A and B are shown apart, each in its own frame.
Chain A
Amino acid sequence: MSETTIETPTKKKKSGGRPSTLRLLLNNTLATAGLVVLAFVFVVALAAPLLPLVNPDVTEPANRLQPLFADGHLLGTDALGRDILSRLIWGTRVSLAVGVSATLIAAFIGSLIGLVAGYAGGRTDNLLMRGIDMIMAFPYILLALAIVAALGPGLLNALYAIAVVNIPFFARNIRGITVGLSRREFVDAARLSGKSNASILFGEILPNVLPVIIITMSTTIGWMILETAGLSFLGLGAQPPQADLGSMLGDGRKILFTAPHVSIIPGVMIFILVMSINLLGDGVRDVLDPRLKSGALARPVMRTAVMRDQVPDIAPQEDATLDMQGLKTEFHVGSDVYKAVGGVDLKVRQGECLGLVGESGSGKSVTAMSIMGLVPTPPGRIVGGAALLEGEDLFSKSDEEIRLLRGLAVSHVFQDPLSTLHPLFTIGDQLVEAIRAHQVISHKDAMARAEELLKTVRIPNPAERLKVYPHELSGGMRQRVCIAMALANDVKLIIADEPTTALDVTVQAQVLSLLNKLRQERNVGILFITHDFGVVSTMCDRIAVMYGGKIVETGTTEEILSSPAHPYTEKLIACVPVLGEPDRRLDAIEGRPPVVNALPDGCAFAERCPYAKDDCRKGDLALTDLGEGRTVRCLYPVSGDKAKQGECDV
């Protein structure tokens, strides 16, 4: 291992890319409006003692019920002649203070209960959560009234009541998150590092829960202010002469018809306050919530956008099921362009299995998804190339035509069968749906056909299995169902994306031999995506190796495995342990694959290549034809002897 160099971090570049949290928030117009209004109200309320306001509690019966814009009283006076503007600002101050502190108290106690219950589990959890359930069983306003009735009216008691009423909300939310987090591996790791339970709970779990607490707070604070106002309105909160928005509303109620402005003004203030807080809260939630962050708000269209500058003119070939040339697929995220696929040519003949081999990030899955337009748009788009399915360009077809071809001529088998199958429908229902999406036959006939399909993929007892749900089957059986579904119609090409990676070896062997048999029987072409050369050997006739979004080598399986021409292929084969050769030296590939938003000039592998020369790092390298269907994208391809020599002196 002396050849291993110490890895150093790459320079951080912080231009473009993903926008910051604040930028995202400000992009949301409504949230920004809420923020501006709220900030204004806050500043005015905080500055109340500094503003030239009359004392809000001084009564002046001579000047009672002055209208708006009266002399010296901008917003008029109330029934006791007190200045409404002054009372409004001081009242807002009180309402805000009560709302914010009630939220903080509820958040603190509720989160604490949630954290402890979620982390401890078992009896503690049961005890705490049943307590919370009891609080929730009372209608909240009744509970608040009961608390205030017991403690006596007053602003502080109203605050306690509102805080208590809202504790369950926090406790339940936080407990749910904590339960998930405390089963995570990093918690086990902290435990093995010798940390105590308390330090795990507050040092490891709390930081991960914090965003959720903040989201919950931002969405409840408006509600709290409203509840404070409600209690004050009923005369249980702020006591005269103290002004708060709710009590002002209550005071104005009796004279609603003679002097409507006395009650309307605090009402409007409550409306503005709660509205702005809620708008801001929604904005904060959208930005912070990981589920929404991961793109759930962006709704991808049903098919990848095709934006080709020029359409390549390819003559259709007789024997090719799929003939793809110059495929370019990009992802546009912020100001970054990720060139996931940069000009890929693939050809799958009838009944042939082509292995597309590469590591994660090499673009192999994006290539496969591009064929039927399954790359999500936004952010993905196809910017070049053509894919001919039996002579017809898939990229120039209409959305409807593509929809009809999916599952008919071209079908997919994905890595994880459990997430591919719908959990709420039986196997039979799903197969019938797949059949009837493309064929006009009765439900009964479709059911019979489904049973036949299960027999084809050698599922024992097919009639019974039609009635079961996906979770009742083992992983191998589920993958067979997916294969059956792929075969439901007159399929020409199966795109299998790591179909056996999630399966156990003995099951993998079964699924692979089944796929192999079916392809020979039905003369179906398979595009088989994998990273495993062992699987490739048993399945594929030809291999295409991908690196950095480009094909670097193609050829027959035997030739590539016995004498790889591209240094990357050579290295990739050399770094895998082989069963039966325990003493084989593992030749790790140093360095990391290139990032596709900053691909180097020239060969993408040059950085990690032991044979790289200066001219490897310039210009675009073309695929060189080595004859007999072998191509390689390398200026100095490895020959048989050189490969051996290379292995010695690396």
Chain B
Amino acid sequence: MSESMTMNQADTLLEISDVSRLFGGGKSLFGKVLPAVHAVQNVNIKVRKGETLGIVGESGCGKSTLARLVVGLDLPTDGAITFAGKDMVAEVKKDRRQMARKVQYVFQDPVASLNPRKKIRTILEAPLIQLLKLNAEEREARLVELMEAVNLAPEFLDRYPHEFSGGQAQRIGIARALAADPELIVLDEPVSALDVSVQAQVLNILDDLKEKFGLTYIFISHDLSVVESISDRVAVMYFGRMVELGDAADVFAEAHHPYSRLLLKSAPVPGRKSMLSEDANTELPDPYNPPPGCAFYARCPRRLDMCTNEAPKLDAAGKKADHLSACFNPENKD
């Protein structure tokens, strides 16, 4: 899983360059400027072919917005997303189907992402008809293949979503994402709505499928231990920006950014009795009125005066060139 493949020169499958997404803004009918929120701000990532990129962060940090941008359910207000060299934003505007064949999505809530009034067969057939244009015979064969891939019997095809448990429904969701035979799958909190015993089943299936079909994953979660167990590289997000990016092993063993450190120390671990906690006066900054410098300044134990002047850029702070962090005073400096 996390034996990081030495893929420094490997092909970049997806490139997110300087992407921002602004919600709200503009002017009202009477010329009043409406408030705006930067859900995602100047994010840069290159996703390598065949890797699993984990994205962690707490609620409101923009990780789900980023996921929706990557699959084209939403368009960035600024910046470019290129998939295998093609401008994705332009492609999606022209014809969603071209992109949907390459990039697919697995939703957080497995039951809500299945239409309650459709049989599983109808749900899984939609991408086969719309994206792959298969005929009835080919579809049938592919359906059986898909169900097998996610360890479900073909008899389930004629059931309705409410007859499934959460884990089974999520496997249907994965099968639907697989149906179009994509290269990249974005998984937005795919196991957080599931019971722990089922979570392991789904994680194991994801691992198998990746190997079998040569997939690339972007795995979004707030659960650090899950991300650690599945990712090759990890990006940590805070308040719409990326604060750290590096090999999973490096980030988890030796995080540079104070926020990443805080996250790791706050996570409950079986067998660990003590738990670090900050002072009570630690709130996320107001999204409508963001601080000028680093958004983490108010909570940061290592803050400097310069932190309030401008937001730090992502760069390599430690020994490794591909372990980046956005901090003026990273943890490994001393």
Q: Which chain A residues have a beta carbon within 8 Å of chain B's beta carbons?
A: 1, 4-9, 184-186, 188-195, 204, 207-208, 359-360, 458-460, 474-475, 477, 480, 504-510, 512-514, 531-538, 561-562, 571-573, 575-580, 582-584, 586-590, 592
Tell me, yes or no, whether B49 is within 8 Å of chain A by CB: no
Tell me, yes or no, whether B268 is within 8 Å of chain A by CB: yes
List A contacts of B195 (CB < 8 A): 359-360, 531
Chain B proximity of A22: nearest CB distance (Å): 19
Chain B proximity of A46: nearest CB distance (Å): 32
- Kindly supply a per-residue 1/0 record for chain B positions 250-293, scoring 1 wherever the CB is within 8 Å of any chain A CB and 0 otherwise: 00100000000011111111111111111111111000000000
A532, B127: Cβ atoms closer than 8 Å:
no
Chain B residues 76 to 116 lying within 8 A of chain A, measured CB to CB, are: 96-97, 100-101, 104-105, 107-109, 112-116
List B contacts of A589 (CB < 8 A): 197, 200-201
**Once bound together, how far apart are the Cα atoms of A575 and B202, in whole Å?**
11
Partner of A458, one of B97, B207, B280: B280
**Sample of 14 A–B contacts (CB below 8 Å):** A6-B151, A7-B156, A184-B112, A186-B114, A189-B114, A191-B73, A193-B126, A208-B115, A505-B266, A531-B195, A577-B228, A579-B264, A582-B229, A583-B1
B107, A185: Cβ atoms closer than 8 Å:
yes
B113, A185: Cβ atoms closer than 8 Å:
yes
The segment from B13-21, B135-143, B219-227, B314-322 found at the interface with A is: B219-227
Interface centre among B197, B228, B252, B266 (most CB of A within 10 A): B197
Tell me, yes or no, whether B332 is within 8 Å of chain A by CB: no
Q: Across the two chains, which residue of chain B brings its CB closest to A480?
A: B280
Interface centre among B104, B205, B269 (most CB of A within 10 A): B269
How many chain B residues touch A (CB < 8 A): the figure is 85
List A contacts of B208 (CB < 8 A): 1
B267, A579: Cβ atoms closer than 8 Å:
yes
Chain B proximity of A560: nearest CB distance (Å): 10
Tell me, yes or no, whether B334 is within 8 Å of chain A by CB: no
Contacts known (A458-B280, A505-B266); A584 close to B229, Cβ less than 8 A: yes
**Once bound together, how far apart are the Cα atoms of A204 and B117, in whole Å?**
8
A504, B268: Cβ atoms closer than 8 Å:
no
Interface centre among A7, A194, A195, A578 (most CB of B within 10 A): A194
Q: Across the two chains, which residue of chain A brings its CB closest to B130?
A: A194
A186, B112: Cβ atoms closer than 8 Å:
yes
**Once bound together, how far apart are the Cα atoms of A219 and B23, in whole Å?**
41
Q: Across the two chains, which residue of chain A brings its CB closest to B231?
A: A582
List B contacts of A204 (CB < 8 A): 115, 118
**Once bound together, how far apart are the Cα atoms of A508 and B207, in whole Å?**
29
Partner of A8, one of B58, B153, B204, B222: B153
B266, A508: Cβ atoms closer than 8 Å:
yes
**Once bound together, how far apart are the Cα atoms of A507 and B112, in whole Å?**
27
List A contacts of B58 (CB < 8 A): 504-507
Partner of A460, one of B116, B271, B277, B281: B281
List B contacts of A359 (CB < 8 A): 195-197
B249, A582: Cβ atoms closer than 8 Å:
yes
- Kindly supply a per-residue 1/0 record for chain B positions 156-193, scoring 1 wherever the CB is within 8 Å of any chain A CB and 0 otherwise: 10010001010010000100100110000000000000
**Once bound together, how far apart are the Cα atoms of A10 and B71, in whole Å?**
35
Q: Across the two chains, which residue of chain A brings its CB closest to B203?
A: A586
- Kindly supply a per-residue 1/0 record for chain B positions 294-317, scoring 1 wherever the CB is within 8 Å of any chain A CB and 0 otherwise: 000000000000000000000000
Chain B proximity of A79: nearest CB distance (Å): 55
B269, A534: Cβ atoms closer than 8 Å:
yes
Chain A proximity of B250: nearest CB distance (Å): 12
Q: Across the two chains, which residue of chain A brings its CB closest to B103?
A: A192
